[in-house]
Amino acid sequence: MQNAAGPNFLADCPARLAVEILSDKWAALVLFGLNDAPRRHGELVKIVGGVSRKVLTETLRRLQSSGLVQRIEEPPRHVQYRLTDVGRELIGPIESLNTWASANAADIEAHREASWTE
Amino acid sequence: MQNAAGPNFLADCPARLAVEILSDKWAALVLFGLNDAPRRHGELVKIVGGVSRKVLTETLRRLQSSGLVQRIEEPPRHVQYRLTDVGRELIGPIESLNTWASANAADIEAHREASWTE
């Protein structure tokens, strides 16, 4: 997003960074899955539900590369994933999106159906 | 997202609906632009900053079709846009994403740059 506008303009919206991260289909679920405790890969597959091992690996890598998740190696061959502080601080905002969406999903769906049949 | 999993699984995540709406590049900015008062199309172009009239029209239509924004016609030829209750309730969650992103953008950027050069 461009940020050439002055202070009276809204063109710079930091929320886009969060939205970009959460646009990753499984990102929010993986963050929630790590909220209680560090988890091994296999545990996360079960907790998240519906994600393949390969896609979970890719999601974890992207969250690691943004510094939201940390990979902890404990030899021999014991690897866990845990939230960083930055990742943990995103749990609250995601919950507020969940609350909003749960309260309004039916209303939004009804509007969309009405607009399709106009 | 599939929801075939039981209650111990996270596979149903209502936040995805909010993320989908906010993935629309200008959606959050338009919602903020309508937060204080109903606005005419030309006012919104100025307030949002950097959006073309055509793209603003498309963004408004999508927000209308989801029931977040309402188009108010006052004859003759006076049209305004305002937030619905559903749209207004999304302002708080967006603000919490903004707060998180503003606080952590530099950290995230640093992690990403480090991961690119690994």
Quick one: how many helices (H) and strands (E) in chain B? 6, 2
- In angstroms, rounded to a whole number, what is the distance separating the alpha carbons of residues A21 and B57? 26
Judged against a pLDDT cut of 90, whether residue A91 lies above it is answered with yes
B79-94 residue pLDDT tens: 999 999 999 999 999 9
* Radius of gyration (C-alpha) of chain B in whole angstroms: 18
Least CB–CB distance from A50: residue in B4, B16, B98: B4
Which chain A residues in 11-50 lie under 8 Å from chain B, judged by CB atoms? 11, 13-19, 22-23, 25, 28-29, 32-33, 46-50
Angle at which helices B15-23 and A91-116 cross, to 10°: 70
Q: Is B57 on the interface with A (CB under 8 A)?
A: no
**What is the reported pLDDT for A5?**
40
Whole-prediction pTM: 0.86
Mean pLDDT of A41-63: 95
Tell me which residue of B33, B11, B4 sits closest to B94, measured CA to CA: B33
Least CB–CB distance from B94: residue in A8, A15, A46: A15
Q: Across-strand partners of B69?
A: B83
Q: Is B56 on the interface with A (CB under 8 A)?
A: no
Per-residue confidence at B8, pLDDT binned at 50, 70, 90?
Answer: very low
Least CB–CB distance from A101: residue in B17, B99, B111: B17
- In angstroms, rounded to a whole number, what is the distance separating the alpha carbons of residues B20 and B23? 5
B19-44 residue pLDDT tens: 999 998 899 999 999 999 999 999 99
